[in-house]
């Protein structure tokens, strides 16, 4: 197995990990919010932690899930512009998109890492043992993962048709 095939295989596993982590965060949000509502309105004993915990899960879901969405090419794109230009200009536009995404990832890693470092010694009131810097870790981690997926696109090419991300395609309704 050559280096490109090993890298593509590693990106497939990373993609699956992103989906699992994002899905788990979404399930956690789905369970946490109703429990907070139930305790507040049914038991008349509000909990202080459901809302901040849900926000933390949403940050994790957003940044790790966004990396997976980028790899699956499920992000927002202006299809009308892409279809209106010729193949040569499409390649230039795709290159410009990759450059902008790389710049965004570098920003996320650099400034997100700095944010984590600057806030590491502060704590959240509802979770005193949890450093605030740790809660922002999905920002630089999401940047690194997205950068890895961009490298896959540039070096290996798009994921193969056998990729797990193509297994759940919509089917025609009879």
Q: Whole-prediction pTM value?
A: 0.87
Sequence length of the chain is 174
CA trace torsion 75, 76, 78, 79 (10° rounding): 50
Is 22 in contact with 72 (CB distance < 8 Å)? Answer: no
Specify the pLDDT at position 58. 96
Domain ranges of the chain: 3-162
In degrees, rounded to 5, the angle at the alpha carbon of residue 151 between the alpha carbons of residues 104 and 72 is 80
Tell me if residue 127 falls in helix, strand or coil: strand
At 6, the pLDDT band (50, 70, 90 cuts) reads very high
Q: Which of 66, 59, 35 is nearest to 144 (CA)?
A: 66
Of 69, 75, 73, 51, the C-alpha closest to 127 is 51
| Nearest residue to 98 (alpha-carbon basis) of 124, 75, 120, 115 | 75
Question: pLDDT for 68-102, tens place per residue?
Answer: 999 988 777 767 777 788 888 888 888 888 999 99
Summarize pLDDT for 38-62 with one digit per residue, the tens. 999 999 999 989 999 999 999 999 9
């Amino acid at each position: 197995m050559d280096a490109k095939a090993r890298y593509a295989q590693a990106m497939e596993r990373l993609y699956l990990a992103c989906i699992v982590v994002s899905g788990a965060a979404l399930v956690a949000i789905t369970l946490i919010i109703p429990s907070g509502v139930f305790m507040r309105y049914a038991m008349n004993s509000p909990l202080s932690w459901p809302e901040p915990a849900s926000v933390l899960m949403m940050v994790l879901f957003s940044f790790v899930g966004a990396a997976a969405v980028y790899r699956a090419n499920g992000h927002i794109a202006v299809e009308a512009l892409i279809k209106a230009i010729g193949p040569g200009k499409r390649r230039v536009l795709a290159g410009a998109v990759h450059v902008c995404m790389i710049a965004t990832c570098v920003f996320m890693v650099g400034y997100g890492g700095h944010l984590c470092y600057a806030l590491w010694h502060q704590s959240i009131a509802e979770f005193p043992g949890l450093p605030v810097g740790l809660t922002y870790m999905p920002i630089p981690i999401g940047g690194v993962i997205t950068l890895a997926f961009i490298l896959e696109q540039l070096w290996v090419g798009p994921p193969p048709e056998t990729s797990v991300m193509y297994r759940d395609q919509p089917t025609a309704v009879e």
